[in-house]
Amino acid sequence: MGLSDVAKGEGALRRFFVEALNDQDGICVITGSEARHMTRVLRMKPGDRFVLMTGDGRRYEAKVAAMGGREVKVSLVAPLPTPAPSPIRLTLLQSLLKSGPMDYLIQKTSELGVHRIIPFSSERTVVHLNQEQLSRRTARWQKIAVSAAKQSGRSIPMEIGPFYAYGEVIQGYESVPGLKVILWEDEPCTALKDALKQASSFECFTGIIGPEGGFSKEEVRTAGAAGFVPVSLGRRILRAETAAITVAAVVQYERGDLG
């Protein structure tokens, strides 16, 4: 079977992810949650084929060689083509939301090709977590991003950045190039679509999305001083997670690889 034949049948195969591929003579071992899913949930057997994705974007057709109690030994059949990344490096700076909405946001923006999400706390953020809770939540978000990458076929999962206070995240992105916007429902003049059309060619897009209560005028002024353009999504008042998904979809449609 040639490479083109393998690629044609890829859509019918399940996808599994390993952060690093340590293979010897085309044989590698999968452990952890992916191995448990293969053995206990799917009850895969030797000879079953699947797509193995790696943290650096490589993809292989692989097959189960042997099943163990906590590991699955697999053989690499053939490399698969790597999907082209989005032409836009899209980063969302997202104020921390409640668990359900934040999980949903992570999943859907990952499917839409967002490169990185940076969670932060702003003046009207209602969710407050200690360091241990943040660590657990971040690990969960990364698992969601990996699952979404497998489902959507993207080569590398979305990155979940560290948590910051609002002032820290603004300062950290002050010198970042590209188009930078802050979503503000009270912006009277500039819509996101207008900002995209008016901007010259850019490879990086950074959008700040607020909490359920939005941003204060002072927070918007702080972002503006750091080069962020206040924009709106029109007359509709969207939930915070819906706004983030909408921003990602609009940017990908206008300047990225959607549609």
**Residue range 12-25, pLDDT digits in tens:** 789 999 888 888 88
What is residue 121's predicted lDDT score, i.e. its pLDDT?
97
pLDDT higher than 80, residue 87: yes
Q: Which CATH architecture has domain 3-79?
A: Beta Barrel (2.40)
pLDDT in tens, 185-212: 888 888 999 999 999 889 999 999 999 8
What's the chain's average pLDDT?
A: 91
pTM above 0.75, yes or no: yes
The tally of CA atoms less than 13 A away on the side-chain side of residue 77 is 20
Read off the pLDDT of each residue in 41-60 and give the average, rounded to a whole number. 92
Task: Please give the CATH number for the structural domain made up of 89-255.
Answer: 3.40.1280.10
Q: Where are the domains of the chain?
A: 3-79, 89-255
